[in-house]
Amino acid sequence: MLRIKNLHAGFEGTEILKGISLSINKGETHAIMGPNGSGKSTLAKILSGHPAYEVFSGEVVFEGKNLLELSAEDRSLAGVFMGFQYPVEIPGVNNAEFLRMAYNARLVNEGKDEVDPLDFDDILQEKMNLLGMENKYKERNCNDGFSGGEKKKNEILQMAILKPALSVLDETDSGLDIDALRVVANGVNKLNNEDNALILITHYQRLLDYIKPDFVHVLSHGKIIKSGGKELAHELEAQGYDWLTTTN
Amino acid sequence: MSSTIAESSNGEESVVLDLHKKFIETSQSSPDILALNRKALDQFAKLKFPHRKHEMYTFVNTKDIAGAPFSLKTKSSSPQQFVKQHVYAGCERSHLTLVDGILCSELSDATALGTAVMVGSLTDAVKHEPIKTALQESIEQENDVFASINSAFMTQGIMIRVGKDKQVEAPLQILNISTGGESGPVMTVPRIYVHLEPLSELKLIVKYVGEEGNYFVNSVQDVVVEENASLTHIQVQADSTDAWHFSKNRVHLKRNSYYRGYQATNGARLVRHHNEAWLSEPGAGLELSGVSVLVDDEQSHQFIRVHHEVEHCTSQQRFKNIINHRARASFDGTVVVNKGAQLTNSDQLINNLMLSDEGHADCKPNLMIFADDVKCAHGATVGQLDEGQLFYLRTRGLSEAVAKEILTQSFASSIIQEIPFAPVIEELNQTLLKKLKAN
């Protein structure tokens, strides 16, 4: 589904990712872990097409398409979803309305008719029920005045609505208390299936107690220094990142 | 000596003085109105057209309009269809149509208002001594030269009076149609006198539209809201893009009265709103909000003076401008808190959204406080669309153009959505989108 080959990329001329290679197949969940400043979030930004980040060399192929050539909106329409570490507040834009516009953008891209607010409400309600979310997510403005946990739940709601082939969740667990973490993780688990794939970017092993990864990659100084199964996350939790970074 | 003064005042002003001479000769107004016209012309001659450094016109260049050879148009009509198109839903039986400043009864229908609202002409109104005195005083104290021109040329105008303890349910629309000129610019002087008696309520929507052309709407509204009465006053400027639009609101608020003013500016060659309000008895409250959407070379200027004359009054101002291309907007607002106006609560906020590099915004929020136990705040921002918000929307599959539309609409929505009249909200949202899409 996604193939990253020797990716060098960075920000304002500084190289942060120094040769990343990674293959992700349908139905897989990959966790990317690493200490602060290792390049985890840069990878997420590059995959989502953030205009401030630049690619120096390497390639990223998503379902046969060169992802790096696509604009942020075209990547979304192609089926890549980015869950933000810090979801942006958009005052004055009703959340349900925003979700409907995003949903319709996808329908139009697929050559289908847009849905009207009434029909969309049924779709939205079904997803909200699935994720156990309250009505306030419909009524309030997009992330406006949301708590950290509410914002992250709203990201998962967007993921549920857009049904992406590949989701990249950037530190979705940061800033969440254990109850909110459980809600978010349960939501992600419900959306996970044989046909989609997931990249979880996280600093802590805690999230991986709730969402079981198939693979764990450790990122340090812009490179993947170790890959393994989910047991690798436990080793990291027990021994810290120093264990790996110093032995390298 | 005196001849020198007369000469110096006869530069650009002479056009108005000459026009006034002809106007008086042919006018069929009552002696009372003519006396007011003459008084206003004296005031005009004293005030003169503003120079560039005039404090009231710091940000407004009036050189194209001062001394322009405007003609007056007093008798016109407008096609029924055009009127229908601009009457809001809910006002089908409660609208008054002014064509070039003159009330046109065959294009008006006020049956839904019943007996709660008295609609008459200024000629009738000044037969009552208090109204005559009030108009006289306001003409003598006028500080805005363009408003004094309105008074110098006003004819019948409209007087709206809401009776004591009458809460008018039907929203009343005044439709101001300017027909423009076949040759050269035409000035119209709509004049509205609104008087709410104690405990009454009215929702008044004034819409300015023009068929075409470079006309000059120079309107003045005198508003008196008596004890415990409440007026909602929505003004929608939707003139032809070549038009000049000047408007002055003079608002007098009595004990525990409330005035809610909303001004939507859809842009024209030059739009200037002048709002002056006197909160002259305790408990009076004022809200003034506005939104301007400007493209190309359009200009919109807001000049505000709020006088807190006594204690326990509140005032709030919130204005937003969306500025694209080479458009210009300005805000010059002062809240004056008189000595003794303790426990005043007042705030002012102006936000400008710049969509181009060539646009221009001037802001001058201002407080003059002579009391020591008050809460007053003011603020102004000038900014662009937020890159983070744009990117967030794009990662959800929305194109850059759509994302910009959404964010621009959301900028204006906090004001537009609060307008307490749904047809105006809908219209403004559509106009906003249309203007953004066209460019």
- Tens digits of per-residue pLDDT, A17-59? 999 999 999 999 999 998 888 999 999 999 999 999 999 999 9
Which residues lie closer than 8 Å to B21 by C-beta, 6 or more apart? Answer: none
Please report, for chain B, the start and end positions of each structural domain, with discontinuous segments joined by +. Answer: 2-387, 388-439
Contact A93 B410 (CB under 8 A): yes
Distance (Å) from the alpha carbon of A15 to chain B's nearest alpha carbon: 22
More confident residue, B294 or A92: B294
Contact A98 B391 (CB under 8 A): no
DSSP per residue, B254-308? -TT-EEEEEEEE---SEEEEEEEEEE-STT-EEEEEEEEEE-TT-EEEEEEEEEE
E strand or H helix that includes residue B146: helix B145-153
Facing residue for A105 by CB, picked from B388, B398, B414: B398
Contact B406 A101 (CB under 8 A): yes
Residues of A in contact with B406 (CB under 8 A): 90, 93, 98, 101
Given a cut of 50, whether residue A151 has pLDDT beyond it is yes
Given a cut of 80, whether residue A225 has pLDDT beyond it is yes
Contact B411 A92 (CB under 8 A): yes
Query: Which CATH code fits A2-247?
Result: 3.40.50.300
Whether B339 and B309 have beta carbons less than 8 Å apart is answered as: no
| Beta-bridge mates of residue A30 | A199, A215
Distance (Å) from the alpha carbon of B88 to chain A's nearest alpha carbon: 25
Facing residue for B397 by CB, picked from A51, A105, A141: A105
> Could you report how far apart the first and last alpha carbons of chain A are, in Å?
30
Residues of A in contact with B395 (CB under 8 A): 48-49, 72-73, 75-76, 81-82, 84
Which residues lie closer than 8 Å to A118 by C-beta, 6 or more apart? Answer: none
pTM score? 0.88
Contact A73 B400 (CB under 8 A): yes
The 3-state DSSP class for residue A184 equals helix
Range in A69-83, A217-231, B74-88, B218-232 with the lowest mean pLDDT: B74-88
Residues of B in contact with A93 (CB under 8 A): 406-407, 409-410, 413
Contact B394 A77 (CB under 8 A): no
Facing residue for B410 by CB, picked from A73, A90, A105: A90
**What number is the average pLDDT over the span A200-218?**
90
- Rounded CA-CA distance B296/B325 in Å is 5
Distance (Å) from the alpha carbon of B317 to chain A's nearest alpha carbon: 19
Contact A105 B411 (CB under 8 A): no
| pLDDT at residue A248, rounded to an integer | 45
Distance (Å) from the alpha carbon of A111 to chain B's nearest alpha carbon: 14
Pair of tokens at residue B113: 């208002």
Tell me the CA distances in angstroms from B119 to B193, B198, B259, B333, one per residue in order: 10, 17, 20, 32
Contact B392 A84 (CB under 8 A): yes
Flag whether residue B396 sits within 8 Å of chain A, measured between CB atoms: yes
Pairing of strands B95-99, A215-220: unpaired
Closest residue in B to A85 (Cα) is B392
Closest residue in A to B385 (Cα) is A90
Residues of B in contact with A145 (CB under 8 A): none
How large a percentage of chain A has pLDDT more than 70?
A: 98
| pLDDT at residue B185, rounded to an integer | 80
Please report, for chain A, the start and end positions of each structural domain, with discontinuous segments joined by +. Answer: 2-247
| pLDDT at residue B75, rounded to an integer | 60
Distance (Å) from the alpha carbon of B28 to chain A's nearest alpha carbon: 52
Flag whether residue B429 sits within 8 Å of chain A, measured between CB atoms: no
Residues of B in contact with A82 (CB under 8 A): 395
Flag whether residue B389 sits within 8 Å of chain A, measured between CB atoms: yes
Given a cut of 60, whether residue A60 has pLDDT beyond it is yes
Mutual orientation of helices A117-131 and A95-109 as an angle, nearest 10°?
110
- pLDDT averaged over consecutive 10-residue blocks of chain B (439 residues)? 40 88 92 95 93 84 82 75 93 94 92 92 91 93 95 94 95 92 80 97 96 87 97 96 94 98 93 97 97 95 97 97 96 96 96 96 95 95 95 96 93 93 95 83
**Best of A41, A53, A75, A90 to disrupt the B interface by mutation (most B CBs within 10 Å)?**
A90
- The ipTM assigned to this model is 0.94
